Amino acid sequence: MATTLRSDGTAHTNALGIADWIALVLMIVGAINWGLVGAFNFDLVAAIFGSGTMASRAVYVLVGLGGLWGLTLPMRLAPRAR
Q: Distance (Å, rounded) from C-alpha 19 to C-alpha 38?
A: 28
Q: Distance (Å, rounded) from C-alpha 37 to C-alpha 10?
A: 46
* Residue-number span of the structural domain to which 32 is assigned: 24-82
Question: Per-residue pLDDT tens for 7-29?
Answer: 666 665 668 999 999 999 999 99
> Does a structural domain hold residue 31?
yes
> Does a structural domain hold residue 74?
yes
Q: Distance (Å, rounded) from C-alpha 25 to C-alpha 63?
A: 9
Question: Per-residue pLDDT tens for 19-64?
Answer: 999 999 999 999 999 999 999 999 999 999 999 999 999 999 999 9
- 50-77 burial, b at 16+ Cβ within 10 Å, e below that, comes to eeeeeebeebbebbeebeebeeeeeeee
> Does a structural domain hold residue 7?
no
Estimate the share of the chain in helix, then strand, then coil, as percent rounded to the nearest 5. Answer: 65, 5, 30
How many distinct structural domains can be found in the chain? 1
Q: What is the pTM of this model?
A: 0.78
